[in-house]
Amino acid sequence: MLRLRPFNLSFAATLTLGSGLAASAALFVAASHLEYDNQTLAFEQRAAQRVAMVRQGLNEAVEVAAVANQLFATAGPVTRAQFHDFTAPLLKRHPFIKAFNYHRVVAGGERAAAEAELQGLRAGTVITEKHGGTQAPAPQRASYSVVWYLEPMAGNEPALGLNASAHAEVTEALARAQASGQVAASDLLDLAQDSTPQASFELIMPVYGAGGKLVGDTAAVIRGRELVRTIFDGTGLLEDQGIHLAVYAGSEPQASRLMFATAGAGANAPRDRVAAWVAPDYTGRLERSFSVAGRTWLVQVAAAPRAFLPDHLGSLTMLVGGILFTLLVTAFVQTTAARARRVQQLVRERTADLKRSNLRLVEDVIARRRTEKALQESEQRFRQLVAMSSDWYWEQDKDFRFTSITGDFAGKAGIAAERLFGKTRWECVPDLEDLPGGREHIACLHAHQPFQEFEYQAEDDQGATRWFSINGTPLFDDTGAFIGYRGTGSDITARKLTEQRVYHVAQHDVLTGLPNRSLLQDRLGQAVAYATRSGFPVWVMMIDLDRFKYVNDSMGHKAGDVLLVTVAARLRSSLRDSDTVARLSGDEFVVILSEHANEPLTRDIVQRVMDAVARPVMLGTKEFMVTCSIGVAVYPSEGTSADSLIEHADIAMYSAKKQGRNNFQFYTPAMNEESLERVRIESALRNALERDEFVLFYQPQVDLATGHIVGMEALIRWNHPELGMVPPNRFVPVAEETGMIVPIGAWVMRTAAAQAKAWQDAGLGQVRVAVNLSARQFGDPDLISGIEAVLADTRLPADSFELELTESLFMSDVTPAVDLLHRMKALGVNLSIDDFGTGYSSLSYLSRFPIDVLKIDRSFVNDITDDANDAAIVSSIIALAHNLKLSVIAEGVETAEQLDYLRSQGCDEMQGYYFSRPLPAADFEKLLRERRCLPVLQLDEPLAI
């Protein structure tokens, strides 16, 4: 008979088993909690999407009601035919609107005449009121608010002639609309034209007659259920059985204010027992309230009950796997303990072997000495290499004091090495401890961390300022104790001076030396922040010279430049040193004035500026007098925000121009008449993409070495059925602000790529196509996937697709921008910086960006043959780009002289009217088929420089 051997679980195995089971249980709880957190996040995202859509739909309804009211505000007396023609397309576009009403105020004495006119529209119509579900003729009153215009009439006949003022919901909403000047929503009400009560409400705005007298109001009658269903129509969200939705016309979920609810909404789902244990905060419900049209709306979203197993496979798998793993590890530990005893025996045997190994160790010591000698020879060679390079080598002890400096430090840095021995770097450079970067460097040293490219400035033995860049690594002995630093250093003074010059050019106007637009925005932000803190106002003056074009046309551009320089000097001398004077463009200047406690801002300051500009100027042998028109915007003030200061000052300046020039005007909201056009453009822009109203024009890019077309820039145009061909500067800013630029930009990329591929397949050359990328597109999280989809769908080679970016897109937050640019570059596309030189232009950042092309802005190209400063800037940009292994494209080339100069400076490509204007696709294809090209410059031809 077989006897089983006794099984004794060791202490280590028992501890392993208990710990493993406890850890498995803890991981199960943590994973389940994380799964519930993921469910909560997913639910909140889906719920937030529905809340946002409801809010957007209500805002759209408010916009429609406001548009209908604008008919009465802009067209004067409105006839029934005009009201019908204006509201018909709105009703067709927004089916959730039951009707558009115009409530006319009718005096009691005018009732008979009013009823007679209504009976001419519909026999038997009188002024009625509805009480308790019954509609009857209205009693005699001092005045009525009668449904006078009604569109559509079909299906709404009972509402014609209804006295709206008898309904408290309507009068209360009208009072709020009069007080706020905005669209106001009524409480839920029953409509006269509905036989079965439905949750409906009206969006009301008053209508005023001559002298501001209230003559009536307009109302958009909306059924709540149809509105919500229209909002979600086509999205499939209402069919989602996992989410219940309820919308209330109020801040509390009262049944009387329920406007819409899906099946199951409002019901309390049973509490998940597991969720109550591992995730007590999980509810699966969300309520959000918001205000639209002066009324609070409440949206309730609830998650439908779900089974536990499908959502928690991960945690259950982890629990089962943890138990199995614990059992396996326990078995392994038990086996290991049994083997430990056998190992002890082996240790005794190995001890004898170690004695024999000592003999071999002596031989290893001899080999180590030979290795040390080789290392010494290698160090000697390293020091010789350092002496021959542009860098030097340095060493410090554990107290950070210099002990050795080699590599002709005195000759390369201009500082005798003896000055540094026995001193720390901050003792040699006293200001280092006062600088943020210096303090961080010293902290890094005390933490015994390596550092790279630490830059600082110091004076050499001749008193000149030098810039140095150093790298260092800490040294430790065999015991791990810190013993000092060693590293290299180099003189970067030339690079720093170049960066400073380029930065100054980028931030200042070359002609006048005044701050340019980029620096102006920074100064304006500081002034607004000061005004916000102190409560003192800020004035922004937009100054435009009168008849400046006459000076350029009659006396030449050089005389115009002299005048601009003179005016800039006079503006600076007539203002305080703390005020900012900037040149915006051409003959436009901007002044920022901040008020202080003992220096109030008055109109006399503006007049003093005008008087300073108006003094005679000697241009050559002639005395010339120039005046200016000034617009002033004040912050804070009604209608002027911090972001619109320059825009409002510009509007006020043009108002001064219209009033005869040589005067100044302060901005008022009434000046902003162009806002009506912007509303019209924004409204039409929303449907332009669906109606296929956009077209692309293409402007060729020509290789200056061969004269052949090698690329093209795709430029969008809007072919509006009423406005005609709308240029980009009228609609692109609106699209950028409203976010519609993202789908429009995606359409441009796809259309341009498909067109380029079609021309390549037709054998017209491997031309690349360049597409401008807007700020909104650059911030779109789906940008990379969108570019991949365009390249995959059109099959256009990635190296034939180029994205143009402006510096302002990625200078606000450089680190994520660098990562995004590298991800874009990984797709194989080309990247170019558009309008280079007009933005930030940091060389240190530029070297980090995976850029292929720099595009010189047309503002520099315009005057390169007449203005030495612009010519110097262009040549510097070309040299900089080539040193960074980048190509250069010059924009806005319009003359042969400009072309010759660019060729002489080694510019790679050109783009401009000299070769071709932007062309429709058909005309551009004709250009490719004709093989049109620039004449190639012969080597013996003189350059026009």
Q: Which residues make up the CATH 3.30.450.350 domain(s) of the chain? A: 76-230
Minimum mean pLDDT range among 71-75, 173-177, 482-486, 611-615: 71-75
Using pLDDT thresholds of 50, 70 and 90, give the confidence band for residue 570.
Answer: very high
**Residue 466 CB contacts under 8 Å (≥ 6 apart), including other chains:** 413, 414, 415, 457, 458, 459, 460, 491, 493
Fold classified for 688-929: TIM Barrel (3.20.20)
Q: Average pLDDT of 171-176?
A: 89
Order of strands, sheet of 143-151, starting from the edge strand that comes earlier in the sequence: 143-151, 97-107, 214-223, 200-208, 184-185
* pLDDT for 942 beyond 50: no
**pLDDT, tens digit, 9 for 90 and up, residues 99-138:** 999 999 998 888 888 888 888 888 888 999 888 778 889 8
Mean pLDDT confidence for 157-170: 85
Residues spanned by CATH 3.20.20.450 within the chain? 688-929
Task: Give the pLDDT of residue 36.
Answer: 75
pLDDT-based confidence at residue 572 (cuts at 50, 70, 90)? very high
- Do strands 628-635 and 853-856 pair parallel, antiparallel, or not at all (unpaired)? unpaired
- Please state which of the four CATH numbers 3.40.630.10, 3.10.20.30, 3.20.20.70, 3.30.70.270 is assigned to the domain occupying 508-671: 3.30.70.270
- pLDDT band (50, 70, 90) for residue 771: very high
CA 877/CA 897 separation, integer angstroms: 19
Task: Tell me the pLDDT band of 490, cut-offs 50, 70 and 90.
Answer: confident
More confidently predicted of 133 and 931: 931
pLDDT digits over 330-380, tens only?
888 878 877 877 787 788 778 777 877 777 787 778 888 888 887 777 777
pLDDT in tens, 641-696: 767 888 889 888 878 887 878 899 998 887 776 555 666 788 888 888 888 889 99
Q: What fold is seen in the domain 76-230?
A: Beta-Lactamase (3.30.450)
pLDDT value for 941: 47
Q: Which CATH class is domain 389-491?
A: alpha beta
What does the mean pLDDT of the chain come to?
84
Residue 224 CA: distances (Å) to CA of 102, 186, 227, 258, 817: 20, 12, 5, 9, 44
Using DSSP bridges, classify how beta strands 919-920 and 909-911 pair: parallel, antiparallel or unpaired: unpaired
Residues of the chain with CATH 3.30.70.270: 508-671
How far is Cα 237 from Cα 753, in angstroms, rounded to an integer? 34
Which of 129-138, 212-221, 414-423 is modeled with the greatest confidence?
212-221
DSSP state of 250: S
Instruction: Determine which of 431-440, 691-700, 705-714, 825-834 has the lowest per-residue pLDDT on average.
Output: 431-440
Cross-strand bridge partners of residue 484: 475
Residues of each domain in the chain carrying CATH 3.30.450.20? 389-491
Per-residue pLDDT for 84 more than 70?
A: yes
* 925 Cβ contact list (under 8 Å, min separation 6): 759, 762, 764
Q: What is the DSSP letter of 273?
A: H
pLDDT (average), residues 301-326? 79
Q: Where are the alpha helices (DSSP H) in 7-136?
A: 11-75, 80-93, 111-121
Residue with tokens 């498909």: 754
